[in-house]
Amino acid sequence: MRQPHIDDFVRLTQDIPELALIRGEVGVVRSTWFAPAIAYEVEFHHPGLDHATRALLMAEQVQVEEGSLFRDAMPADVLAVEHLVG
């Protein structure tokens, strides 16, 4: 499994109850910290809230999401055009 990079989508591998974050939630890596250990600042958006939650997470707390997270949510006509173009 590859390490996350800035702007990668990552999925939480465990709950972070102090921040009301639940295992499986998806966020975006905003920065990488290298000392004293590698950690990732990840931003999470919750529907209905006007703010984001940022958490500093260790590598074992996140998993990189490969591919499009939104493919299943796209209308069929958008997928058809995407297929023709790309």
Kindly report, residue by residue over 37-56, the tens digit of the pLDDT: 999 999 999 888 889 999 99
The helix/strand/coil state of 54 is strand
Q: Which residues of the chain have pLDDT under 50?
A: 73-74, 76-81, 83, 85
C-alpha separations of 4 from 51, 76, 81, 86 in Å: 23, 30, 30, 25
